Structure 1
Amino acid sequence: MKDSTPCSARSALGFNRFIHEGGLNDLRMGGHRFTYFCHDDLKLSKLDRFLVCSDFLQFFPNVTVTALPRESSDHCPVLLSTASVDFGPPPFWFFNSWMDRDGFAKVVAIAWLHFQGYGTTDCILVAKLKHLKNKLKEWRASELPKEAEDLTKLRNKKPRIRWVIDGDENTIFFHGYVKNKNMKNSINGIMTNGCWSTDPNQIKKEAHRFFRNKFKEKWSS
């Protein structure tokens, strides 16, 4: 039986400073919450993890970490995977800043008023929203070159504006931070009936079941 090692606050502070100054990211781990089991599973700890730099996240944005079931060892094997998983087409993203751009209101009004559909009311509404989404995608695609031209003009306008754009928003650290945040918000696996599953269909079914039960209403007879 292993004896527990006393924790040094000074060493922990120095290690945390090393992680911060090195710009390292602690990858979110799926599977098991803890990786080390001691004293007949009375003491649980997360000792094993991966720390990666921003360049790693640039090359492998879909990286996942999974703690696998342990057998004879008191540590869980930890698997790092860079394989991409197909969850289907990406969802449509809408940004509130679009409403402040020229031409947005006109695109919405024309798409909404000129749409013609048939069927029940709910089916017409779904088809109308889908038609509006497609028109907004077309408008967005036409706006991208204009935005790139506006950014170029801002970079050449004043040194301070150029520093704000290039120094704060387009650095490797900034993009690494955004990618790390998106990675933490993504769902790469889910625990169902005590088993860790990374199958996209299983994840979708479990998410649908959870929210269906969450928003189910009881009707009084």
Structure 2
Amino acid sequence: MLGLIKTKKQVVTRFDVVRLWGQDDAGWNFVGSDGATGGLLLIWDESVFKKNNCYKGERWLCVEGILIKNNYNCAIFLVYGAHNRDAKLQVWEELSYMAGLCQVSNCYMGDFNEIMHVEERQGTDVLPRSAEEFRSWVQDMHLVDLPLTNRKFTWFRGRSCSRIDRALVSVEWLEEFPGTRICGGPRGLSDHCPVILEHARQRVGPRPFRSLDSWFTHEGFLSFVKEEWRGLGEMPLTDKLKALTIPLGNWHKTNFGDMDKKIMRFEEEIKKIDDLVSNGVYDGTMEARRKALVTCCERWYVRKEVHWKQMSRSRHAKEMDKNTRYFHNLASARRRNNRIDTLLINGRLVRNQARIKIAAGSCFG
């Protein structure tokens, strides 16, 4: 799918689409420009995406349909953000309404004309009010702002540069396409870099040893580690850590596997006691059992929150909705951003993963 912003065309014809797309098998829709200002155009391969509905606003274009290969219902939004605060708020409100109307997985792409963090604008140390409101809107919509993998800014003019072009996807989108990521293309003569959304499934090398903060909330964790560590005898540290991963994985599965099911069981037991009390059945033993169940349930809620906060590495964890699916997919986005796709070796850009591994190993070997 191809999205173009600021087409400066009041009407887009099939001739225009074929000239851009290269062949006559494309579906398309557009929002006309206001004179020489604005204009939006979405083009897609009809063998890949089947359009069901199309909705338009002055600064956005939505195509709802089905990704044929996956039989997946979704809505693709192309957005050209407003420049003043009141107009921006109106665009966010319209997009929220459309998300409720479509009731499917969403992907928002385009020039949002707004930053979300101070480091996304060169020379800025205070976040403007409109940026705070934009970030709140993204969080309220449970959208994940996909990180750019190969550049910091997407808009340049003189010494000014900002990251205002982005892709936002719903939690459901990332659950269906966990390999979704974006990169910036060459800017050419434009002020903006094109944003390329791609879906890639790649596994690069073994995972590093990692301890989870939630483990330390378990009363038997430290004694378990000490016993396992002593049993490994005299081995190099790296070999010990590698050997420890297997018993740690088994311990984690036994003690922390299916946290949601554990919480659900405690909640069901609490509800049974509440139902008995509602029917007039009550004694001191029942009250003591209820307090014990509540304490255990609270402990598992804390463990679950600690686990996903660590996985997400969210800089704004205190401000965000403590929604596990949101944090899980934010963690997935972070892992994608940490992957090295290209490396400059002896003046040449190398994309071969085997060569990248060898070059990285030679630096630390």
State whether TM-score is above 0.5: yes
In structure 2, the CA distance between the partners of 1:74 and 1:109, relative to structure 1 (3 Å rule), is closer
C-alpha deviation, 1:157, in angstroms? 2.9
How far apart are the structure 2 equivalents of 1:203 and 1:75?
Answer: 32
Counterpart amino acid of residue 85 in structure 2: A
Displacement of 1:56 in angstroms is 1.0
Task: Report SS of the residue matched to 1:93.
Answer: coil
Q: Deviations over 1:55-81 (max 9, x none)?
A: 112222221100111335444222111
How much has 1:87 moved relative to structure 2? 1.6
* SS of residue in 1 equivalent to 2:236: helix
More off after superposition, 148-157 vs 46-55: 148-157
Q: For 1:18-46, what per-residue CA distance to the aligned partner results, in whole angstroms no more than 9, with x for missing partners?
A: 544433332211333333445xx555444
Equivalent positions of 1:28-67 (< 5 A) are: 28-38=147-157, 44-67=161-184
Question: Matched residue of 1:133: which SS?
Answer: helix
Native 8 Å contact 1:64 1:188 kept in 2: no
Q: In the TM superposition, what whole-angstrom CA distance separates every residue of 1:102-134 from its partner, at most 9, and x where no partner exists?
A: 6534533432333345xxxxx534333333332
Counterparts of 2:137 and 2:228, CA distance in 1 = 54
Instruction: Provide the rounded CA distance (Å) in 2 between the counterparts of 1:81 and 1:144.
Output: 34
More strand, by proportion: 2
Q: What is the match of residue 325 of structure 2?
A: 175
* Matching residue's letter, 2:141: G
Q: Any residues of structure 2 matched to 1:158-173 within 5 Å, and which?
A: 158=270, 173=323
Of 136, 153, 158, which residue of structure 1 is paired with 2:248?
Answer: 136
SS at match of 1:30: coil
CA distance in 1, matches of 2:223, 2:229: 10
Q: 1: distance between equivalents of 2:338 and 2:88?
A: 30
Relative to 1, partners in 2 of residues 1:76 and 1:47: Cα closer, same or farther, differing over 3 Å? same
Distance change >3 Å, CA 61–CA 51, structure 1 → 2: same
Shift of 1:145: 5.7
In 2, Cα distance between equivalents of 1:71 and 1:46:
17
Verify the 8 A CA contact 2:142 2:326 in the aligned structure 1: no
Distance 1:140 1:199 in 2: 35
Query: Which secondary structure state, in structure 1, belongs to the residue aligned with residue 209 of structure 2?
Result: coil
Number of aligned pairs? 198
Are residue 95 (structure 1) and residue 212 (structure 2) matched? yes
Q: Give the counterpart letter for 1:175 in structure 2.
A: R
Q: How much does 1:11 deviate?
A: 2.1
Shift of the 195–184 alpha-carbon distance from structure 1 to 2, 3 Å rule, reads farther
SS across alignment from 1:86 = coil
Q: Determine the C-alpha separation between the residues in 1 that align with 2:231 and 2:139.
A: 54
Asked if the contact 2:144–2:329 (Cα under 8 Å) also holds between the matched residues in 1, the reply is: no
Change (3 A) 1:27 1:124: closer
Task: Looking at secondary structure, tell me which structure has more helix per residue.
Answer: 1
The aligned residue for residue 187 of structure 1 is 338
Sequence identity percentage? 22
Which one of 83, 89, 93 corresponds to residue 7 of structure 1? 83
Partner in structure 2 of residue 218 of structure 1: none
CA RMSD, Structure 1 to Structure 2 (Å):
4.3
Q: Identify which of structures 1 and 2 has the higher relative contact order when contacts are C-alpha pairs closer than 8 Å and 6+ apart.
A: 1
Match of 2:143 in 1: 24
Structure 2 stretches lacking a partner, 5+ long:
1-35, 38-81, 93-133, 275-293, 309-320
- 2: CA distance between counterparts of 1:50 and 1:173? 21
- Structure 1 position 192, deviation (Å): 4.9
Q: CA deviation at 1:8?
A: 1.0
Asked if the contact 2:181/2:199 (under 8 Å) is kept, the reply is yes
- Does 2:221 correspond to 1:104? yes
* 1:44 to 1:204, Cα distance in 2 relative to 1, 3 A: farther
